[in-house]
Chain A
Amino acid sequence: MVVLILEKVPRSLRGELTRWFLELDTGVFVGRVSATVRDLLWEKVVEKAGEGRCAMAWRTNNEQGFSLRLHGYQDRILRNFDGIMLVAVRNAEAVRKAEKLKRLARRAQRELDNQSLD
């Protein structure tokens, strides 16, 4: 089983995907294709998406039970936690906290360096 979600992509691309998938809602495709077809379709989707955004999820034999792909997202990335894929969002609060973490890490490093000098 494969789920494909497309936003702001050319109409012709969505039309083409209906050869393999059911369009459940605008830009939301559900179907069952082989791994080879799935990977080839992803290449096609990425190639033709232009400025659009693409997400894919499919069933696979890992601990989560599925795998994910993202393309074209400016504010979202996939992250691998030792085999578990989670989605990171880069919003204003996240950026602020990232800065704070950097300051904390620098301070901890300075304290460590000071200890080493003794």
Chain B
Amino acid sequence: MPPVPSARNLKELPKFRDGLSYLYVEHAFIEQEAQGIGIYDQEGLTLVPVAALGVLFLGPGTRITHAAIRALAGNGCTVAWVGEGFARFYAQGLGDTRSSRRLQIQAKAWADPALHLKVVFRLYQRRFQEPLPPDLTLEQVRGLEGVRVRAAYAHWSRETGVPWQGRSYDRGNWAASDPVNRALSAGAAYLYGLAHAAIVSSGFSPALGFIHTGKLLSFVYDVADLYKTEVLVPAAFLTVAESDLEVERRVRQKLRDQILGSRLLERVVEDLLWLFSGLGLPEEEAEEDDPTRPGGLWDLEGEVEGGVAYGGPDPGEGP
């Protein structure tokens, strides 16, 4: 079967830079409508253009169909379920035309201690305005990061007049947390969802974290932390400065404004690619001629052709 000649198509167009960050829905049915999804709730049927969407957050009282999930996955949209206390889990599906090249580079960097450390320093450096001195130890950089984060909270507390007594993570009693901590936790859930969507749509793994390790979302925390003090902290303090009421809902609008103002959607993909470039790993940028071609089979001597039934006199299409 001759390879199909490559053609530019809508899937190649940059998704994150041109899209919407997230949509939050609750108390609704979500079904496929035409080529997108429809939200059925008390207001009627609301159509959503999914090609432009990064994350769909499903709040309490939502039901979603198989067809809707397929429409979302086909467009590279991450689906995240958020509960009352902002417990969350994610679903994402990817077509079989996606390459694992970037993920393999990430895995190699993760597994090599010297490269791992290099990526860790890059993750820290990205948060600071000025370049860090190259001779700092990891412990020293962590100390500087702690100072930077505390200074950010203090700055926005002064700027907005919202009192700040430190970060509290009382997971057992959501309502008892003070408003700014509730806004921070709610906003963090949305920022994590967005980081997750960016990681997956760029072809990386959410699990292979570098600063954070040991969780299936470790890399999500790494990426979200690049932008937390710039985007989430002002959104939370500005939300609470307006009112103590319904901070979990109102922080969504403020966060969206901060995301737009900081050009986060454009930057997150650029930052992901930058993290793993120039590490000395092979980075052949050759585009696949035919994304539907079966992947290769691993061999000691190098990759052998996939989609072939070996061991017979007449090699044909295999499993």
Indicate whether A79 sits within 8 Å of B43 (C-beta atoms), given known contacts A64-B20, A101-B29: yes
Q: 1/0 contact trace for B3-21 toward A, CB 8 Å?
A: 0000000000000000011
Residues in A whose Cβ lies below 8 Å from that of B29:
97, 100-101
Residues in B whose Cβ lies below 8 Å from that of A62:
260
**What is the distance, in angstroms, from A74's C-beta to the closest C-beta of chain B?**
11
Binds B, one of A40-48, A49-57, A86-94: A86-94
Q: Are A87 and B20 in contact (CB under 8 A)?
A: no
Q: Is the interface of B mostly helix, strand, loop or mixed?
A: strand
Tell yes or no: B241 within 8 A of A by CB: no
Q: Are A77 and B44 in contact (CB under 8 A)?
A: yes
**What is the distance, in angstroms, from B219's C-beta to the closest C-beta of chain A?**
25
Instruction: Identify which of B21, B23, B46, B61 contacts A88 (C-beta below 8 A).
Output: B46
Q: Are B48 and A86 in contact (CB under 8 A)?
A: yes
Q: How far is the CA of A88 from the CA of B23 in the complex (A)?
A: 15
Tell yes or no: A37 within 8 A of B by CB: no
Q: Are B20 and A88 in contact (CB under 8 A)?
A: no
Q: How far is the CA of A88 from the CA of B38 in the complex (A)?
A: 9
Tell yes or no: A108 within 8 A of B by CB: yes
Q: Are B46 and A86 in contact (CB under 8 A)?
A: yes
**What is the distance, in angstroms, from A116's C-beta to the closest C-beta of chain B?**
16
Q: Are A93 and B45 in contact (CB under 8 A)?
A: yes
Q: Are A63 and B256 in contact (CB under 8 A)?
A: yes
Q: 1/0 contact trace for A54-91 toward B, CB 8 Å?
A: 00000000111000000000000101011110111111
Indicate whether A94 sits within 8 Å of B44 (C-beta atoms), given known contacts A63-B20, A64-B20, A108-B61: yes
Residues in A whose Cβ lies below 8 Å from that of B45:
88-91, 93-94, 97
Q: Are B42 and A102 in contact (CB under 8 A)?
A: yes
Q: How far is the CA of A91 from the CA of B47 in the complex (A)?
A: 12
Tell yes or no: A35 within 8 A of B by CB: no
Q: How far is the CA of A97 from the CA of B195 in the complex (A)?
A: 33
**What is the distance, in angstroms, from A104's C-beta to the closest C-beta of chain B?**
8
Tell yes or no: A13 within 8 A of B by CB: no
Number of residue pairs across A and B with beta carbons under 8 Å? Answer: 74
Q: Are A88 and B44 in contact (CB under 8 A)?
A: yes
Q: Are B24 and A82 in contact (CB under 8 A)?
A: yes
Q: How far is the CA of A82 from the CA of B40 in the complex (A)?
A: 17
Residues in A whose Cβ lies below 8 Å from that of B305:
none
Q: Are B41 and A84 in contact (CB under 8 A)?
A: no
Q: Are A82 and B256 in contact (CB under 8 A)?
A: yes
Tell yes or no: A1 within 8 A of B by CB: no
Query: Which residue, of A77, A91, A94, has the highest number of chain B Cβ atoms within 10 A?
Result: A94
Tell yes or no: B27 within 8 A of A by CB: yes
Q: How far is the CA of A22 from the CA of B175 in the complex (A)?
A: 55
Indicate whether A63 sits within 8 Å of B42 (C-beta atoms), given known contacts A82-B252, A82-B253, A105-B27: no
Of all chain B residues, the one with the shortest Cβ separation from A99 is B42
**What is the distance, in angstroms, from B45's C-beta to the closest C-beta of chain A?**
4
Tell yes or no: A98 within 8 A of B by CB: yes
Instruction: Identify which of B28, B43, B259 contacts A63 (C-beta below 8 A).
Output: B259
Query: Which residue, of A79, A98, A105, has the highest number of chain B Cβ atoms within 10 A?
Result: A98
Q: How far is the CA of A104 from the CA of B29 in the complex (A)?
A: 11
Q: Are B46 and A83 in contact (CB under 8 A)?
A: no
**What is the distance, in angstroms, from B193's C-beta to the closest C-beta of chain A?**
13
Of all chain A residues, the one with the shortest Cβ separation from B252 is A82
Q: Are A63 and B21 in contact (CB under 8 A)?
A: yes
Tell yes or no: B257 within 8 A of A by CB: yes
Q: Are B61 and A86 in contact (CB under 8 A)?
A: no
Residues in A whose Cβ lies below 8 Å from that of B249:
82
Indicate whether A88 sits within 8 Å of B43 (C-beta atoms), given known contacts A101-B27, A108-B61: yes
Of all chain A residues, the one with the shortest Cβ separation from B29 is A97
Of all chain A residues, the one with the shortest Cβ separation from B190 is A82
Q: How far is the CA of A61 from the CA of B253 in the complex (A)?
A: 15
B residues whose Cβ falls under 8 Å from a Cβ of A: 20-21, 23-25, 27-29, 39-48, 61, 249, 252-253, 256-257, 259-260
Cβ contacts A to B, 12 pairs, < 8 Å: A62-B260, A86-B46, A87-B47, A88-B44, A88-B45, A90-B43, A94-B45, A97-B41, A101-B28, A101-B40, A101-B61, A108-B61
